[in-house]
Amino acid sequence: MPDSDYLAEGRRTAIRPFTQADAEEFTTRVRESRDLHRPWLFPPDDLRTYAAYAGRLIEDPTREGFLVCERGGGSGPAGSIAGFININNIVAGAFRCGALGYGAFAHAAGRGLMGEGLGLVVRYAFGPLGLHRLEANIQPGNEGSLALVRRSGFRLEGFSPDFLFIDGAWRDHERWAITAEMTGSPGA
């Protein structure tokens, strides 16, 4: 994908919106990453469910979806999808907040690509999107996700028992957040 299609670029990654044309690569990466994602995450793994999922991210003004793409010099071809980060439940007005959902793909896990990608999304959220706060709700046993938000400067704000219905049960979650003030962003 040409660099002009990226919303923001870092040294090793760039972010861009989801498109319907990403279905084949995205669902292939999801199937390759099942062991990494389960039991925490269940992204779409076939073309039909991807079409609906991406459609919501593309059309719903309360959601923004970003593909974290590896730039040249990595283990995959330039532009290959390393993971995804979505901002869900965006509320404007006095709140200016959104809730994060994200996942790395197995070929990119443990290489720091999602950390850089999350930094790009945070800057984009507090800049062009005009948000003030991002929240991440994480199951206590999801060590990889907890490490990602800690490294990215999020603060632990609380614990919510039986917070989200995942994999057939209500799951406890830790609540993590970052604000524009914490990053020195213009949305402060």
Which CATH number does the domain housing residue 147 bear?
A: 3.40.630.30
User: φ and ψ at 75, to 5 degrees?
Assistant: -80, -15
Rounded to two decimals, the pTM is 0.92
- Is residue 96 one of the residues assigned to a domain? yes
Residue 67 is part of which domain span?
3-183
- Is residue 173 one of the residues assigned to a domain? yes
The count of structural domains within the chain is 1
- Is residue 188 one of the residues assigned to a domain? no
Distances (CA, A) of 58 to 61, 106, 118, 146, 148: 8, 25, 19, 27, 25
- Confidence at residue 186, expressed as pLDDT on a 0 to 100 scale: 66
Instruction: Look up residue 95 and give its two tokens.
Output: 């709140």
- Is residue 67 one of the residues assigned to a domain? yes
- Is residue 109 one of the residues assigned to a domain? yes
- Is residue 118 one of the residues assigned to a domain? yes
Query: With left for phi above 0 and alpha for psi between -120 and 50, is residue 112 left, alpha or beta?
Result: left
Instruction: Look up residue 156 and give its two tokens.
Output: 């632990």
Predicted confidence pLDDT, tens digits, the chain (188 residues): 445 689 999 999 999 999 999 999 999 999 999 999 998 889 999 999 999 999 999 999 999 999 999 987 555 555 899 999 999 999 999 999 999 999 999 999 999 999 999 999 999 999 999 999 999 999 999 999 999 999 999 999 999 999 999 999 999 999 999 999 999 876 66
User: φ and ψ at 89, to 5 degrees?
Assistant: 55, 45
